Amino acid sequence: DTEVTQTPKHLVMGMTNKKSLKCEQHMGHRAMYWYKQKAKKPPELMFVYSYEKLSINESVPSRFSPECPNSSLLNLHLHALQPEDSALYLCASSAQAEETQYFGPGTRLLVL
């Protein structure tokens, strides 16, 4: 089983809202990732957690705040987003940081 789940599937939020994206995997993977993907572009890495510790932050604005409460769960907290932040947000996990990454279905975010 290589399933990564993400909720919600779709999210519409205003620029003053606070919302959270959730990602979950039960494969015992120790690395989890957040990517952002705009239309007709490849995924762009945002954050990497390895063994529940933040390993990489790709210079992401502070209006995006990741959290890894345990080894199975990854959250992305959103606050004061801009319309240009509208995108598909993808979560991925891998057994270890250098191994094959499996993507969840994504959350389609629209910021109004």
List residues near other proteins by CB under 8 A.
Answer: 2, 31, 41-43, 45, 48, 50, 55-56, 58, 88, 90, 97-106, 108
Cβ closer to other proteins: 8 or 14? 8
Separation CA 30–CA 27 (nearest Å): 9
CB 93 within 8 A of CB 27: yes
30: alpha, beta or left? (left if phi > 0; alpha if psi -120 to 50): alpha
Measure CA 57 to chain center. Answer: 12
CB of 59 to other proteins, least distance (A): 13
Nearer to other proteins, 80 or 95 (CB): 95
Amino acid at 63: R
Q: CB 106 → other proteins: shortest distance, Å?
A: 5
18 vs 50 by CB, closer to other proteins: 50
CB of 48 to other proteins, least distance (A): 5
At closest approach, how far in Å is the CB of 65 from other proteins? 19
Our CB check for other proteins shows the closer of 4 and 81 to be: 4
CB 34 within 8 A of CB 89: yes
How many angstroms separate the Cα of 76 from the Cα of each of 1, 19, 98, 99?
A: 24, 9, 22, 22
